[in-house]
């Protein structure tokens, strides 16, 4: 600094003298060198002073976790919604109109209680029409049986008459043959008698065949009508059963989640009328990114988190199709009647992919970036010391430490990236 002052004085002394161009250039170079040297000295001084001052952090600025030996379950995240395990739908058994609604959505209902009453007039008319058609069919069978029996009797009579005629013709043939033997008849007469007998026998065979055909026809016609009657009988029974079930009642205890309450509305057969849920047991309908599709398997354990409480269950069903980048699956909860369970409650679901029983673990936190090898800080008295570690399995709660940390050591789990270049940090 003294040198700078002296140089300044020299400049002032020479202010009154004329300065040459060469001298001006020399003076500029000297000034530039002086500034560079001064800046370098200042920088070195700053580094030296900064090295002498150790960084300090407050204990309230970070969170720690003590390493321990315990279970680590590797999980993949999913989302889910609590649903009643048993929810049934009641559809209209017949075409009808809604006449009265006894229970509304949200109300409890007991097994056997009527929920809706239907006006089934149109179905009753259809039932009566079928009954009338059935009476007509039975009458047809009776008439057909009479006609067939009559026709069969006529053929049997013709058959008997023809048999008697054949007997007579046989006697006549024998008589002509006897006359021919004594010369009282001619060969032509005998031949004609034999021809007449043969014709009669053919006619008898024809009548016999007609009788058999008539019997077969009668049997086939009656069988066909019998089939038609049986079909109609089943239709009648079906409609009768449907009419009996037209008083829509609950098959079990539950809560009505939806009901068609439009009085007077026309309802087609099979149309949904009521949905009833059994709120004494629940399941989870979940979805997960298709990135983890291979991890979702039937029978695999899943964890359901509700208000920081975990319930366990097993994957009971996995839908094969991927929709909008997600895979849907169902979880059967072990404690189906837990008081934490509420219908339509959204929950976090974790599918457990692996399990380690005795692993060194630390609570998961921002300090861990997902890399297998990384740097963290271990708390030793009033210092946080940087250490290289290896991690293993992890979930939202814990992360496994494969090497670098021993059970009992206190680890900073907050984000320490601002200090990661330092070997240690003072803690106060």
Model's pTM, two decimal places? Answer: 0.54
CATH superfamily of 60-82+277-427: Efflux pump adaptor protein, beta barrel domain (2.40.30.170)
Compute the distance between CA of residue 333 and CA of residue 283 in angstroms, rounded to an integer. Answer: 6
Query: For the domain 93-120+246-270, what is the CATH code?
Result: 2.40.50.100
Contact (CB, 8 A) for 79 and 349: yes
Q: Which residue has the tokens 């229970």?
A: 103
Q: Which residue has the tokens 């006006």?
A: 119
Tokens of 199: 């014709």
Contact (CB, 8 A) for 386 and 39: no
Compute the distance between CA of residue 371 and CA of residue 392 in angstroms, rounded to an integer. Answer: 9
Confidence at residue 218, expressed as pLDDT on a 0 to 100 scale: 75
- What is the b/e burial string over 303-322, where b = at least 16 CB atoms within 10 angstroms of the residue's CB? bbebeeeebebebeebeeee
Beta bridge partners of 322: 327
- CB-CB neighbours of 10 under 10 Å: 10
Contact (CB, 8 A) for 55 and 407: no
Confidence at residue 246, expressed as pLDDT on a 0 to 100 scale: 60
**Helix or strand run (H / E) with residue 379:** strand 373-380
Which residue stretches of the chain have pLDDT < 50?
1-9, 11-17, 46-52
Confidence at residue 16, expressed as pLDDT on a 0 to 100 scale: 46
Confidence at residue 356, expressed as pLDDT on a 0 to 100 scale: 86
Confidence at residue 253, expressed as pLDDT on a 0 to 100 scale: 85
């Amino acid at each position: 600094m003294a040198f700078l002052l002296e140089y300044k004085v020299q400049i002032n002394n020479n202010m009154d003298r004329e300065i040459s161009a060469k001298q001006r250039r020399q003076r500029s170079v000297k000034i530039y060198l002086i500034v560079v040297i001064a800046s370098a000295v200042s920088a070195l001084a700053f580094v030296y002073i900064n090295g002498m001052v150790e960084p300090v952090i407050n204990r309230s600025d970070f969170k720690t976790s003590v390493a321990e030996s315990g279970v680590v379950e590797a999980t993949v995240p999913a989302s889910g919604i609590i649903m009643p395990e048993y929810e049934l739908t009641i559809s209209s058994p017949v075409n009808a109109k809604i006449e009265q609604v006894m229970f509304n959505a949200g109300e409890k209902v007991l097994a056997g209680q009527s929920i809706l009453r239907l006006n089934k007039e149109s179905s009753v008319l259809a039932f009566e029409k079928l009954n009338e058609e059935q009476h007509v069919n039975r009458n047809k069978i009776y008439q057909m049986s009479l006609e067939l029996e009559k026709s069969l009797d006529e053929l049997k009579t013709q058959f008997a008459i023809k048999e008697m005629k054949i007997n007579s013709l046989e006697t006549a043939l024998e008589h002509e043959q006897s006359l021919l033997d004594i010369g009282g008849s001619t060969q032509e007469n005998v031949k004609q008698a034999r021809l007449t007998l043969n014709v009669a026998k053919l006619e008898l065979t024809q009548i016999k065949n007609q009788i058999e055909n008539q019997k077969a026809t009668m049997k086939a016609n009656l069988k066909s009508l019998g089939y038609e009657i049986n079909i109609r009988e089943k239709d009648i029974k079906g409609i009768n059963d449907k009419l009996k079930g037209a008083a829509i009642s609950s098959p079990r205890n539950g809560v009505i989640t939806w009901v068609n309450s439009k009085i007077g509305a026309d309802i087609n057969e099979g149309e949904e009328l009521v949905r009833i849920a059994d709120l004494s047991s629940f399941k989870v309908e979940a979805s997960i990114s298709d990135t983890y599709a291979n991890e979702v398997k039937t029978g695999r354990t899943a964890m359901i988190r509700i208000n920081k409480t975990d319930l366990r269950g097993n994957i009971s069903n996995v839908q094969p199709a991927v929709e909008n980048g997600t895979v849907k699956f169902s979880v059967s909860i072990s404690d189906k009647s837990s008081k934490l369970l509420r219908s339509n409650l959204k929950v976090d679901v974790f599918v457990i992919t692996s399990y380690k029983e005795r692993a060194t673990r630390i609570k998961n936190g921002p300090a861990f970036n997902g890399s297998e090898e990384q740097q963290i800080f271990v708390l030793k008295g009033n210092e946080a010391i940087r250490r290289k570690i290896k991690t293993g399995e992890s979930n939202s709660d814990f992360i496994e430490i494969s090497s670098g940390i021993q059970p009992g050591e206190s680890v900073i789990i907050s984000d320490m990236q601002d200090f990661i270049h330092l070997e240690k940090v003072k803690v106060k």
